[in-house]
Structure 1
Amino acid sequence: MDLINKRGNYMRQIILNIIMTIPFGFLLPLVAKKMNLIKVVLITMTFSLSIEFFQFFSITYRATDITDVITNTLGGLIGYCLYKLFHSLFEY
């Protein structure tokens, strides 16, 4: 909704949300060897949804937004793609 309403510094928020979850998508297949693209995306989305859920009920009254879930999931996807790229380059 921040993107649609152009509220605040929405572009900065979007970029930071993507950057924040790139390591998650990159490291998840390293920790759990049987990870594929679908599993990484679903786990990243679930992780992001849980963050937004707890933000909604937190005492600090932080805003929840579907854009955060989408951009966090995109970051996980990018991280997984980077993992596949580096894994294929350094695979023996």
Structure 2
Amino acid sequence: MSQALTIVARIEAKSDKINLVKTALMKLIEPTRKETGCLQYDLHQDNENPAVFLFFESWETLELWQSHMNNDHLKAYMEETEGAVDRFILNEMTKIG
């Protein structure tokens, strides 16, 4: 059996768009957790910098995660937050220990 794929996505909202981005990110949780292959999908907000959000995700396979990336709810998020995000960093990772 292959290793699950871990995704760490860091989203930094513009300072005047924190609530907009947070609301849009929260909308992703329920439908994503229902997707085939989603093992974990947790959203975090930085305690010292509320503009910083982090998704910690675990997926059965790369292909199922890629399918998630093309879902309608993710496309809606992108439209809703266009121009509201300063920085987005995504890491595809494998658990090694």
Q: TM-score, normalised by structure 1?
A: 0.35
Where relative contact order (Cα < 8 A, 6+ residues apart) is larger, the structure is 2
Q: TM-score, normalised by structure 2?
A: 0.34
